[in-house]
Structure 1
Amino acid sequence: MTLKHVTPFSIAYQSADAAMADPGLGGLPEWDLSVFYSSIEDPAIEQDMADAKKLAEQFEVDCKGKLAEIAERSGDELAEIIRRYEELEDMMGRTGSFAGLSYAGNTTDAAHQKFYGDVQEKLTTASLHLLFFTLEMNNVDDAVLENALRSEKLAYYRPWLEDLRKERPHERSEEIEQLFHEKHVTGAAAWNRLFDETISGSRYEIDGEELSIEQTLTLLQNPDGEVRRKAASALSKTFGKNLSVFTLITNTLAKDKDTYDRWHNFDDIADSRHLANRVEREVVDALEEAVRAAYPRLSHRYYAMKAKWLGVEKMHFWDRNAPLPQADTRDIPWTEAKSTVLDAYKKFSPELAEIAEQFFDKNWIDAAARPGKSPGAFSHPTVPSAHPFVLVNYQGKTRDVMTLAHELGHGVHQVLAAPNGALMAPTPLTLAETASVFGEMLTFKDLLANAETPEKRQIMIASKVEDMLNTVVRQIAFYTFERQVHELRKEGELTAEQISAIWMGIQEESLGDAIDLEGGYENYWTYIPHFIHSPFYVYAYAFGDCLVNSLYAVYEEAEDGFEQKYFDLLKAGGTKHHSELLAPFGLDATDPAFWQKGLAVIERLIDELEEMDQAD
């Protein structure tokens, strides 16, 4: 099993690196990483990695082969061993986080590339001395461990120990796990880097000017249809040039995952992701089934309505995210985006806003879009002894404001969960999306309440529906695509044409007849990073959106007490199963009706848009 501090740096984004932001947006912050080190040349980095290796070696000498005996002898003593292990995780995680964030800030710079690679390799070497620990812990007899848990100190770690036990059916011998662990740097992690650096270095020519993918994708939201067409054409052309590279990466990683899954006794191609998310396969299957069945009521219906608004029978695929004719397309200054999000957070909870404001005041945000910077947006929790960092590529669009609200939700969640420590602060992806989507919803509802005219209300609702369709319909379509690609890869290597055919078939199913996908869309699967960095990650977005739709309905109907329950959910981090966390709100994700409630929220917004349309 892969240790946290050497997990490939996960970038939750939808596009790639951007050119410099418009100066009209105001001063855009860049993060201050000095909580870790002064720079990538800081001599403390080498010293810390050497110390980590030495401490890991000593930990192995002190503990290997002795855990069962220690557990039988003293729960307090075993708790102290776990505490030492946790401290090592945090120590290595600090260096790994700094390397990952530094690399994200400049993925195309040779010095940062080398630094990131070197740190990964050294941390992997050091962590080999820790790999025995979780394997040996899972060999401690259940009865012995349960008796040891009478210790108050050890009982603190019960949630982590119970989660660890869930890994037991999928663990192999220490020697085999060491091989998988050590080969990861030259396997999946290397292919991840190749993808990142290919995307970050790619350029897209429009009217003689070379743009980054972030800039080019942003043009798909331009009010001018001809601009959107040119952007789509440029994307298709460059994707086509790199098609063989992306096809090789996809085939290699799918085969690599299949090999890992077979050796670790996972039956279904997504089971390892479900285990990491602490969610049952049946729950995810029910989610996928519910969303796919709802395509006609949601995306098909909305895009048919949007085509009519744009004055066409069928939209081209490059018009899917086009602004409506009356939409406000001005650039929103950074200061306005900040106040918009913080004001919405504050109306729900002053404490929520106070935590979020730290990200602005203490330079925990990198907002400027610049050459070589990692694309899109993410919030990296780093380690409990530090604090999270948020990356966005702010370009002044309404969606950028909502992205800021989303990532700050993650950041607040990570701050609140951090006191659980390095082992129990991390939250499963399915629940990690709760605070982010809730933050978006708070911001949307606040803006909607201030809509000055019915026309502005209509445009805002339409924009929110599109965001929800991108979060629910699009991500489940992505999940279905991944499933088909990984299943077919078991039978042999896939050609680019085969992958593109799968892509097009699933996009047609999810988007409906109102969108014409001809003209270059067949290769758009190539730039989706989640397929590369985190296979089957994408369903977590749909899970989180449907969950928050239901949660927000409870909030609107709730009397006193909702805020405290919500904070308790966020503070729990990874210490509780989703069923425990949702129970106080009267929600149950194992109930098929749960997903229908979440989807019904989107459906009602589309109903409202139809009523407005008919009234006009």
Structure 2
Amino acid sequence: MEQQTTVDLPVWDLTDLYQGADDVRIDRDLDQLEQRAQAFEQRYRGRIAQGQVSAVELKQALDEYEWLARAQGKPGNFAQLHFSTDTTDAARGALTQKVKERGSRMATHVIFFTLEVGKIPEEHYLRLSEASELAPYRHYLDYERSLSRYHLSEPEEKILEETANSRGRAFRRLFTEITSRMSFRMVVDGKEKELTQSELLAYNYDPDREVRRAASVALAQGLKPHAHVLTFIMNTLLHEKQVMDRIRGFEEPEDSRHLGNELERAHVDTMVRVVADNFDLVTDYYRLKARLLGIEGLTHYDRYAPLEKERVFISFDQARDIVVQAFGDFSPRMAELTRPFFSERWIDAPVKAGKRGGAFCAGVTPDHHPYVLLNYTGKPRDVMTLAHELGHGVHDRLAAKQHMLDYHPVLPMAETASTFGELLVFEKLNESLDSRQKRLGLRCEKLEDTFATVFRQVAMYRFEQRIHRERRSQGELTTEQLNALWQQSMQEMFGDSLTLGEDHQWTWLYIPHIVQTPFYVYAYAFGELLVLSLFARYKQEGQAFIDKYFHLLAAGGSRRPAELLGGLGIDISRAEFWQGGCDLIRQNIREAQELAAAGQGKGTE
């Protein structure tokens, strides 16, 4: 597989945050944060809950609290971004830990505020909420009050915050360090090579089945030595979640995530049920793919096998041009929001040892631009990953008019712009292809991406549900039990069309979302199904839709998803809405089947 050298790929410039890990301004900013947090506590502690502040005073308190949240975002994000590109650097790790610990110290001075907001007498709160001065913070105040029934006492909350860095946060950091430092050995072009996880996973898309099989074996062999420690981390975090849910009063393991996402449990359950009821779509597709590949008995390393036998390499510059042009065809404004990511070095793209795997977009604060991390290997799907993360980036930039407390959209809404960006690039690429076979190949790649975003994420969500409930009912789980639950959960979506092999059972070990953000993954399915419906509306409405779409993104996290989408006539409580998204996927499968049938009848164009 042709590789682009690290020299050719952009490395982000973090100097508009700080010059480096030893920048004296980091300690200066942390000191100022703590001093202002102490002053905030002295001024307002004990007055909010008692109803002793007017709307004007509460607005002043919220302005200061918002400043603290925004100011903390600068050192916090710098430390995490700096660490993510080299988790083997002890100085970067130490900075990350220091910023977390200083952040906890600051937080102990302001914990009282949200607790007291939740205790404002209802009658007094209703009067306050009608005041025009508080209009910018009304959503945030309502959200914090929705959390109040799960709050503990202030001393208890302080203890939890001060010990967090030696409990769950510590184990999550350990997971990142272990998985980022992993190396895998595989024979490539007759020579054994040592590969990073990102380099190895790129071979899942190789046209040579033996290469894909070898990559699968190498992945399992590289993961197995870490299974004991990663299983211990998983059990520890599962138990910590159990304890925290019990003392806060959450009924189900996933309820705290739904609350954070401002979604009703019933709405998520409806979506998950509809997706699971449509697992037959995946089965139908992989029966088609088996015929197209001429393989009897597909297995896990055939899931992403390309139909084209020629290895395709796309340079980063080509990927940039494809994405920017696709975004620009949708709206010149979208392209304009995207270009600075390249020209101002807001992207870190090289693959290297010690770098965090995968990709992400980090929205720092409303008054600072986002950053994108990639592990770019030049495969066609990397173009989609770039479009996905830049979709997040556009979302963050449009939401910059919101204050910090409403800046970040909740997770399901956060996956809207990213998935929409992928669809724009897919459409652009599809229009540019001049043969049926190439269009079929691209259609199949897009379907596989959709399956990974919708059905795989719901399968993963059900895996999480199972392991949390198993841990609570029977105690610590063995690696073998976790492997079996993983295989069971992931096999369900494929039916009898594809069999997950023995090596696949180890692959839960490197999935970051399960460890870092429990029950995050259903947000991907939510976003994809929502975007399929939005994209169909865009094709019908044209420019009128574009204005509505930008308005949706500009809202950031300032409104609940049901309210925000209700304004577009979307009712997320109805199974019919989610089924509509699945029906659009079924239509795409039908189009792939028709392209395949045309090829069999007429030969290759």
- Distance change >3 Å, CA 140–CA 327, structure 1 → 2: farther
User: Counterpart in 1 of 2:178?
Assistant: 198
- What aligned pairs does 1:164-563 form with structure 2 within 5 A after superposition? 164-207=144-187, 208-296=192-280, 298-324=281-307, 326=308, 329-491=311-473, 492-563=475-546
1:519, distance to aligned residue in structure 2 (A): 3.2
1:149, distance to aligned residue in structure 2 (A): 3.0
1:591 aligns with 2:574: yes
Q: Does structure 1 conserve the Cα–Cα contact (< 8 Å) formed by 2:2 and 2:313?
A: no
1:106 to 71, 86, 91: 86
Describe the superposition over 1:393-431 as per-residue Cα deviations: whole angstroms up to 9, x where unpaired: 111111100000000000110111122111011110010
User: Counterpart in 1 of 2:21?
Assistant: 40
Q: Aligned residue pairs: how many?
A: 594
1:51 to 4, 16, 32: 32
- 3-state secondary structure, aligned to 1:355: helix
User: Counterpart in 2 of 1:61?
Assistant: 42
- Distance change >3 Å, CA 186–CA 56, structure 1 → 2: same
1:72, distance to aligned residue in structure 2 (A): 4.8
- 3-state secondary structure, aligned to 2:405: coil
User: Counterpart in 2 of 1:13?
Assistant: none
Distance between the aligned counterparts of 2:457 and 2:13, measured in 1? 33
- What aligned pairs does 1:117-196 form with structure 2 within 5 A after superposition? 117-196=97-176
Q: Does structure 1 conserve the Cα–Cα contact (< 8 Å) formed by 2:208 and 2:309?
A: no
- 3-state secondary structure, aligned to 1:247: helix
Give the TM-score normalised by structure 1.
0.94
Q: Does structure 1 conserve the Cα–Cα contact (< 8 Å) formed by 2:108 and 2:158?
A: yes
- 3-state secondary structure, aligned to 1:290: helix
Which one-letter code corresponds to 2:575 in the other structure? Answer: P
Describe the superposition over 1:177-209 as per-residue Cα deviations: whole angstroms up to 9, x where unpaired: 112212211111111111111111111111332
- Distance change >3 Å, CA 21–CA 518, structure 1 → 2: closer
Which piece of structure 1 moves more, 20-29 or 435-444? Answer: 20-29
Describe the superposition over 1:77-121 as per-residue Cα deviations: whole angstroms up to 9, x where unpaired: 110111001101111111101111111111111111111111111
For the aligned residue pairs, the C-alpha RMSD in angstroms reads: 1.5
Which one-letter code corresponds to 1:440 in the other structure? Answer: E
Distance between the aligned counterparts of 1:72 and 1:576, measured in 2? 28
- 3-state secondary structure, aligned to 2:502: coil
User: Counterpart in 2 of 1:27?
Assistant: 8
Give the TM-score normalised by structure 2.
0.96
Distance between the aligned counterparts of 1:415 and 1:121, measured in 2? 29
Which one-letter code corresponds to 2:317 in the other structure? Answer: T
1:560, distance to aligned residue in structure 2 (A): 4.2
Which piece of structure 1 moves more, 464-473 or 46-55? Answer: 46-55
Distance between the aligned counterparts of 2:431 and 2:300, measured in 1? 31
- 3-state secondary structure, aligned to 1:138: helix
Distance between the aligned counterparts of 1:489 and 1:190, measured in 2? 20
Which one-letter code corresponds to 2:93 in the other structure? Answer: Q
Q: Does structure 2 conserve the Cα–Cα contact (< 8 Å) formed by 1:236 and 1:521?
A: yes
Describe the superposition over 1:434-455 as per-residue Cα deviations: whole angstroms up to 9, x where unpaired: 0000011111111112221111
Q: Does structure 2 conserve the Cα–Cα contact (< 8 Å) formed by 1:465 and 1:606?
A: yes
Describe the superposition over 1:550-594 as per-residue Cα deviations: whole angstroms up to 9, x where unpaired: 111111111542111111100111111112222343221111101
User: Counterpart in 2 of 1:6?
Assistant: none
Which piece of structure 1 moves more, 121-130 or 266-275? Answer: 121-130
1:215, distance to aligned residue in structure 2 (A): 1.0
Which one-letter code corresponds to 2:376 in the other structure? Answer: Y
Q: Does structure 2 conserve the Cα–Cα contact (< 8 Å) formed by 1:21 and 1:370?
A: no
2:76 to 85, 89, 96: 96
Q: Does structure 2 conserve the Cα–Cα contact (< 8 Å) formed by 1:299 and 1:510?
A: yes
- Distance change >3 Å, CA 506–CA 288, structure 1 → 2: same
User: Counterpart in 1 of 2:550?
Assistant: 567
Which one-letter code corresponds to 1:582 in the other structure? Answer: L
Distance between the aligned counterparts of 2:200 and 2:543, measured in 1? 47
Distance between the aligned counterparts of 1:277 and 1:327, measured in 2? 43
Q: Which has the higher contact order (CA 8 A, sep 6+)?
A: 1
Determine what percentage of the aligned residue pairs are the same residue: 39
Distance between the aligned counterparts of 1:376 and 1:312, measured in 2? 30
Q: Does structure 1 conserve the Cα–Cα contact (< 8 Å) formed by 2:184 and 2:195?
A: yes
Distance between the aligned counterparts of 1:302 and 1:537, measured in 2? 26
1:614 to 589, 592, 597: 597
1:243, distance to aligned residue in structure 2 (A): 1.0
- 3-state secondary structure, aligned to 1:315: coil
1:305, distance to aligned residue in structure 2 (A): 1.2
Q: Does structure 2 conserve the Cα–Cα contact (< 8 Å) formed by 1:25 and 1:331?
A: no
Which one-letter code corresponds to 1:103 in the other structure? Answer: F
Q: Does structure 1 conserve the Cα–Cα contact (< 8 Å) formed by 2:263 and 2:562?
A: no
- Distance change >3 Å, CA 353–CA 550, structure 1 → 2: same
1:67, distance to aligned residue in structure 2 (A): 1.5
Which one-letter code corresponds to 2:446 in the other structure? Answer: K
User: Counterpart in 2 of 1:10?
Assistant: none
1:143, distance to aligned residue in structure 2 (A): 1.7
- 3-state secondary structure, aligned to 2:165: coil
